[in-house]
Copies of this chain bind each other. A is one copy, B any other.
Amino acid sequence: METSERLIESARELLWERGYVGTSPKAIQERAGAGQGSMYHHFRGKPDLAVAAMRRSAEQLRAQAEAQLAGGRTAQEKAAAYLLRERDALRGCRVGRMAMDPDVIASEQLREPVQETFDWLTGRLAGIVADGVASGELRPGLDPDDTAAAIVAVVQGGYVLARAAGSQEPFDRAVRGAVALLAAQAAPDA
């Protein structure tokens, strides 16, 4: 693997584990097995490298989510597939984690991949819910945008609960709870 590639992968891991503020250029270089000069040759600095790393993680998340969402037949199956995907809750979300970082939120450049990811994800889910309502699978009053936001929030919040507890369990409970709440939104038999 080339040096530039190793730097991006190292940054991805460290941003995941320690966030933007908690990740130093030196730590990235050490993990990548690259020197100072090497990093500053390939990237302008820490923010530039971080953006490259975050874009890649965002692309990965999107591909994984799309795989779940495209799989099921009904809206409920798709949403459940997304919610119940295997996740290591204690590690958290590579993308969502960045939203809690003050330096990321303060910078247009750094926030952009995060914003784009969640815009896409909630929009994709809202479309699925809207289809479910239109097809008569889900009850007519169900708001697609609000429901989509709640689904994505349960996953992101589940990470918080798991890390607070030091255990996977609260995450699993939260997503199971969300699936059960959604199951009760089926349209009444005509």
Q: Contact residues of A with B, CB < 8 Å?
A: 17-19, 21-22, 92, 96-97, 99-103, 105, 111, 114-115, 117-119, 122, 139, 141-143, 145-158, 160-161, 163-166, 170, 173-178, 180-182, 184-185
Contact = CB atoms under 8 A, between A and B. Distances in A.
Contacts of A141: 180
- Chain A contact residues: helix, strand, loop or mixed: helix
A137 B148 CA distance: 26
A146 B173 contact: yes
Contacts of A17: 102
Given A173-B149, A178-B150, A164 B96 contact: yes
Contacts of A150: 154, 173-175, 177-178, 181
A170 B118 contact: yes
Nearest to A117: B164
Contact of A21 (B21, B97, B114, B118): B21
A164 B96 CA distance: 8
Contacts of A164: 96, 99, 111, 114-115, 117-118
A22 B103 CA distance: 9
Contacts of A180: 141-143, 146-147
A105 B167 CA distance: 11
Contacts of A99: 160-161, 163-164
